[in-house]
Chains A and B, each alone.
Chain A
């Protein structure tokens, strides 16, 4: 039996991890992820999980030990945020390239410098090309559901890639929300036993992992890794549908909110999508055809599916809570714009970078973006390609 409970985003992740009961967790505390490590430590101390918990001395070692555990044949998890992810960087690539199905909740936080502990997406957006699947979550329910699904996606034999499950630091990680939690038995069945095809600990089939790979083979190995990412979308969809059948909460690549006939649309992920929905409702009540697209899966990038639901709009604002320092706006913007390159009647697509370092974003800010979009839709022209929202210029 599922139950309705009030949990913070971090508690929801810790709860999902307890229910998954991974063989090994290696993790290091960092604001605002720390709660996850603390809750999980308590589960270990109370004997509520069978997990071997490795209290490593850094995030670099957290990812290194998780990689070692996963290669050894264990279901292995870690969790991090911001500077922690940055310190892991080298091994983040090794995890995906060794095709290890690690699940890592990431609590989105701004990167230094200047040091800042609040939400933006600079950390995981920077890791977008690291070969990990990335799922983004609007609220505690989604972060819980995504964590459960991530295990099945990562471990699918056609995928075998690690997954980051992202949520907004403090906004989601520390806010108490009502959500439905499935019972332990359901999750146990859902995750199933972990039986990797090959494991380092298999003494009968000794394996060399992490060999030197030169000009004659490296490219083929990368190509097969690309194929795994190509497969991942199909599996994310299938797992999201199966999850829906079993829980009533179906997941796809994104949530299209009142988008069908929208003239103007915002693309925004994580908690800000929640802020934007009532703005859409208010605009709709005034007869303005506003819509919202909330990406869930950013890696792999579902370009064709996104284009199919966005192509009817006249003007689109892609909102990035990260800066790409490309002098072309944030990281989601060029990808959405590129996805729309092949549609016949191209919408005008502009970019808003918002909320860096946890700068608050409210319904008034979102409303202002829709108002500007309405102008862009009317004229077919934009005055600025990239707008920095809510910053003192």
Chain B
């Protein structure tokens, strides 16, 4: 892979002037992913923060071909774009080499767009689908999604007198994508840029569909200082809440193993959305979250071995 100095000279696909919040995790993810492409990119974007904040007509922050169709259909839309490319190429009407990328948040990917994504992966379109997972519908004001962690306080899973935030854990979308048997699936985090850019490069290089799930902090929803985005996503990795791994042609590889696995409470206590879990009566929830993190991490290590 190119070193940081070389990467920093690549033209920016997402330019200055976008209106994402300060400290939004989506922007560095987009930047790191697109840095890895050796070819020009064509992008499909699901409805969400990234879409609305980068394309307020008559302005656009995108320097590359970019299309938004609707919320749940970025993968289907990109299927059509890629099909057009294949058709025109086969007929000798187009001679460029292009990488196709879809960006969607967890709402647009785990929930409403899951069918469209599954269909596109099964059909084998040559595309990289990137989910920036901030664990809730942040664009509409922090409503819970199936990516919202157990106990998180959101506007539709509020921590109340009776119910301590989101009931039940997260859907494991990365593993659902692994089950599709596609050539490349990975989890990454913008805190580990080298790891994420390397994964993006692999995703672009494989023939066929690839899926990357990237942990994106939303400081409005997670409730932390905008400056702490990278530190908190790093804590997600260091606590193994968000393991960095990849599944390449079915082979599991954990790409980062923390020297010392931190307790998950270090990740949780840094965020206002979990504050209520630290009341004595909710201790069992903290224990449950830790137990689930431990189990997943151990399973992952076993699968790697």
Q: Which residues of A contact B (CB under 8 A)?
A: 23-24, 26, 50-52, 54-58, 60-61, 64-74, 76, 90-91, 94, 200-203, 206-214, 217
Contacts and interface: CB of A to CB of B under 8 A. Distances in A.
Contacts of B122: 57
Contacts of A52: 83-84, 86-87, 90
B250 interface: no
B168 interface: no
Contact of A61 (B51, B67, B85, B119): B119
A253 to B, nearest CB: 32
Given A68-B79, A200-B42, A212-B56, A206 B65 contact: yes
B305 to A, nearest CB: 35
B80 interface: yes
Interface string B63-77: 111111110110011
List the 5 closest pairs (A to B, CB-CB), nearest first. Answer: A68-B80, A57-B119, A65-B80, A210-B68, A74-B84
A139 to B, nearest CB: 32
A64 B87 contact: no
B10 interface: no
A56 B116 CA distance: 9
Given A64-B116, A212-B55, A69 B65 contact: no
B72 to A, nearest CB: 7
User: Which of B42, B78, B84, B94 is most buried by chain A, counting CB atoms within 10 A of its CB?
Assistant: B84
A210 B62 CA distance: 12
B84 A69 contact: yes
B91 interface: yes
A122 B89 CA distance: 40
Given A52-B87, A54-B123, A209-B66, A64 B77 contact: yes
Interface in B69-127: 69-70, 72-73, 76-81, 83-88, 90-91, 94, 96, 98, 115-116, 118-119, 122-123
Given A211-B60, A212-B52, A214-B56, A58 B119 contact: yes
Interface residues of B, number: 44
A67 B64 CA distance: 19
B40 interface: yes
A206 B42 CA distance: 9
Contacts of A206: 62-66
Contacts of A65: 76-77, 79-80, 83
A201 B79 contact: no
A316 to B, nearest CB: 41
Given A60-B73, A61-B73, A68-B67, A74 B88 contact: yes
Contact of B56 (A26, A64, A70, A211): A211
B267 to A, nearest CB: 33
Contacts of A56: 76, 79, 119, 123
B58 interface: yes
B116 A60 contact: yes
Interface in B38-65: 40, 42, 44, 51-52, 55-58, 60, 62-65
B293 to A, nearest CB: 33
A208 B62 contact: yes
Nearest to B66: A208
Given A90-B70, A200-B42, A208-B62, A24 B83 contact: yes
Given A58-B119, A203-B65, 4 more contacts: A26-B83, A55-B123, A61-B76, A203-B98
Nearest to A71: B67
A217 B65 contact: no
Contacts of A67: 69, 77, 80
B88 A23 contact: yes
Contact of B69 (A54, A57, A73, A210): A210
Given A23-B91, A68-B77, A61 B56 contact: no
B115 A61 contact: yes
A61 B67 CA distance: 15
